[in-house]
A and B are shown apart, each in its own frame.
Chain A
Amino acid sequence: ETGVTQTPRHLVMGMTNKKSLKCEQHLGHNAMYWYKQSAKKPLELMFVYSLEERVENNSVPSRFSPECPNSSHLFLHLHTLQPEDSALYLCASSQDFTQMGNTIYFGEGSWLTVV
Chain B
Amino acid sequence: SQQGEEDPQALSIQEGENATMNCSYKTSINNLQWYRQNSGRGLVHLILIRSNEREKHSGRLRVTLDTSKKSSSLLITASRAADTASYFCATRAGGSYIPTFGRGTSLIVHP
Contact = CB atoms under 8 A, between A and B. Distances in A.
Contact of B101 (A42, A105, A111): A42
Interface in A27-62: 35, 40-43, 45, 48, 56
Interface in A87-115: 88, 90, 92, 97-109, 111
Contacts, number: 59
B72 to A, nearest CB: 15
A67 B40 CA distance: 25
Contacts of A106: 35, 42-44
B31 interface: yes
A104 B98 contact: no
Given A45-B98, A100-B31, A101-B50, A90 B43 contact: yes
A84 B84 CA distance: 28
A74 interface: no
B41 A108 contact: yes
B98 A42 contact: no
Nearest to B99: A104
A77 to B, nearest CB: 21
Interface of B: 2, 30-31, 33, 35, 40-45, 48, 50, 88, 90, 92, 97-103
